[in-house]
Structure 1
Amino acid sequence: MKPIVKIMKSDSEIMSTFSTLKQLRPHLTEDNFLGIIRRLQDNYGFNIVTVIENDEVKAVAGYRITESLAWGNYFYLDDLITDEKSRQKGYAHTLWDWLISKAKENDCEQFHLDSGVHRHEAHRFYLKSGLDITCHHFQKTL
């Protein structure tokens, strides 16, 4: 069966992404996951999209379309992860192409993401996919 890209909407669809997203965000728990996603959806227009093949989640992305004074209307990719058992099979590329198309379809002027400094493999993917490193992100834990 050919992989499909699907926006996950129902509680059960969203929960089906948990084990894959947890590989990127290990602090998440199954108990609080759905509540966090619903708050992100309600407050920030967050969406979860997946690549599914043979009824299995192969890759997951979390994104939102938003606006700022600095960047105008832009697409922000919060999360992108391929399930560890499904890497190197093209699922990330399938999802990436869908995300870029979605950004263009929504008249986004720019496409943004942040990536941890230790995620070298992800950085190679982003650079090969046409992204530029344009700023530093700073944080302070409070």
Structure 2
Amino acid sequence: MECRKAVTKADIEFCKDAILEFRPEVHPETVVDQVFKMITEEGYELVFLPNAENTRAGAFIGYRKLNMLRTGPIIYVDDLFTFAECRKQGLAGALLDYVTRQATDEGMKSVHLDSGYTLHPAHRLYLNKGYYLACNHFAKAIN
């Protein structure tokens, strides 16, 4: 499996269905421009694997490189998604391995991500890939 990095709007368009399936709160008409801005101005990286027919992304991962006082330089995974029909093919694992290689190549000591409480299949994957439960994440909505 060869992971492909999105660099153009066409690449993002190829991933659009997967992004919208995973993040339904994102507006379909502006998602390509939003992600392109995140990539070109905010350090977001989008990497994907096509589905078997090579008609759209079957899975994608989105991440950023951060430098935090408590961790030093890290990669933080914002998004990881695989379409239901593409699951059990190793796509998410390959994308996590890609990010691990990126972190290793850049001398980073860790990769971080948050995951919803009920996503037990995802948790199993993370644990099998060497991730551990490091903290609880809190958020506060601002009206």
TM-score (norm 2): 0.90
How many Å apart are 1:139 and its aligned residue?
0.9
Rounded Cα–Cα distance in structure 2 between residues aligned with 1:74 and 1:35: 26
How many Å apart are 1:55 and its aligned residue?
2.2
Say if 2:49 is the partner of 1:51: yes
Say if 2:139 is the partner of 1:139: yes
Rounded Cα–Cα distance in structure 1 between residues aligned with 2:12 and 2:3: 14
1:103 is aligned to 103
Q: Deviations for 1:20-78, whole angstroms, at most 9, x for unmatched residues? A: 12222111222121222133224431010011254242210001111011110001111
CA contact (8 A) 2:7 2:39 kept: no
Q: Which amino acid in 2 is paired with 1:109?
A: K
1:112 is aligned to 112
What's the % identity of the aligned pairs?
27
Rounded Cα–Cα distance in structure 2 between residues aligned with 1:11 and 1:41: 10
How many Å apart are 1:5 and its aligned residue?
0.7
Deviates more, 1:42-51 or 1:123-132: 42-51
Q: Which amino acid in 1 is paired with 2:113?
A: L
> Number of paired residues?
140
Change (3 A) 1:61 1:13: same
Rounded Cα–Cα distance in structure 2 between residues aligned with 1:94 and 1:39: 26
Rounded Cα–Cα distance in structure 2 between residues aligned with 1:140 and 1:38: 27
Say if 2:33 is the partner of 1:35: yes
Rounded Cα–Cα distance in structure 1 between residues aligned with 2:109 and 2:41: 22
Structure 1 stretches (4+) deviating beyond 6 angstroms?
none
Q: Which amino acid in 2 is paired with 1:139?
A: A
TM-score (norm 1): 0.90
Rounded Cα–Cα distance in structure 2 between residues aligned with 1:87 and 1:117: 20
Rounded Cα–Cα distance in structure 1 between residues aligned with 2:64 and 2:25: 21
Q: Which amino acid in 2 is paired with 1:138?
A: F
Structure 1, unpaired ranges of 5+:
none
Rounded Cα–Cα distance in structure 2 between residues aligned with 1:141 and 1:70: 24
How many Å apart are 1:128 and its aligned residue?
1.2
1:86 is aligned to 86
